[in-house]
Amino acid sequence: MATVIKGTAVAKKVRQGLRDEILEIQKEKPDFKPGLTVVQVGDRPDSNVYIGAKVKACEEIGINGVHMKLPPETTQQELIDAIEGLNVDPDVHGIILQVPLDCTTGIDETLCTNVLSPSKDVDGLTDVNAGRLARGDLKRCFTPCTPTGCMVLIDEAGVDVKGKNVCVVGRSKIVGAPMHDLLLWAHGTVTTCHSRTPDLGYHIKQADVVVVAAGKKELVKGEWIKPGAVVIDCGINPEPDATKKSGVKLWGDVEYPAAKQVAGAITPVPGGVGPMTVALLMRNTVTSAKRMHGITGARSYSTTSYTRPIATQGTARGLSTSAYIARTGLRLLQRLKK
């Protein structure tokens, strides 16, 4: 019978540790206040729930959490201007562009994500951060929060992935691909499986650690799990269930009851990986704030080659630096007042 890795409890420890760290820093630097802004276009109900959870976590930890909500008719250039304004705001240390965007104007999500300054991209989704992760430059990048949370949970299970056979099921840009990279640079021998992989069960049976992020209910069968393996289930598959107070039951990507009988350690759904995502987002925001305040222990981060100077951004639009900053701020105020 597997040990259940309780992500809720681990996330609580991470969040409490961050709160304590902020309070300790503020004893010497009273003006230290990490800031996180979540930019949303439109009004998707699921996005509202996710953002609410992030802002609540900010309040509990001592981070200034701001929800910037723009209307569905926001244009791509207006969104770019909003993000560039946050890039130069010294009180903002982390920026998230909540996707999918709920807009009527055909905004390019990838393009706008890459407008984020990599040094404030606490979700680790810009091409710069993804590229640094792929190259193993972990000290100079932010890594996506869900796979980073998975690494913390694997460590919580007492497993060192060095030299272990690891199987990642899924190759999304948000979870699967960066999960592969993190495990590789932790010296695991990593196999990535996906929708085109034949005989998925064969690969999983070889693995000492299995991380599943496929988005398909109970895709991974209990009989495929190697005895004693660590199983991390990132799946969240909702189905209507009248017996639940919420009216919804969440299923993972792993056949949990059967896998639990074989694995050495396993995460449940819910209460496993999910809480870690928000906790690691908070950690990245605090790390960014420490770096910007020059606090010892913050990671080095050079973005000179990638983030356009403010003067350059203004010149590209035929504006002086001061005029560009003023126009960006005015546009933001006009949009938020509507």
E-strand spans in 136-178?
165-169
User: What single-letter DSSP state applies at residue 223?
Assistant: G
Exactly one of 29, 33, 54, 69 is catalytic; name it: 54
User: What single-letter DSSP state applies at residue 246?
Assistant: T
User: What single-letter DSSP state applies at residue 110?
Assistant: H
Provide the pairing of β-strand 248-251 with 237-240: antiparallel
* Type of residue at 131: G
* Type of residue at 215: G
**Cβ atoms 165, 192 nearer than 8 A:** no
How many angstroms separate the Cα of 258 from the Cα of each of 5, 95, 185, 269? Answer: 16, 40, 31, 14
* Type of residue at 1: M
Instruction: Give the count of beta carbons closer than 10 Å to the beta carbon of residue 157.
Output: 18
Peptide bond into 118 cis (omega under 30): no
**Cβ atoms 212, 234 nearer than 8 A:** yes
42 backbone φψ class: left, alpha, beta (φ>0; ψ -120 to 50): left
Instruction: Give the count of beta carbons closer than 10 Å to the beta carbon of residue 337.
Output: 6
Provide the pairing of β-strand 64-70 with 94-97: unpaired
54 is catalytic: yes
**Catalytic residue positions, numbered:** 54
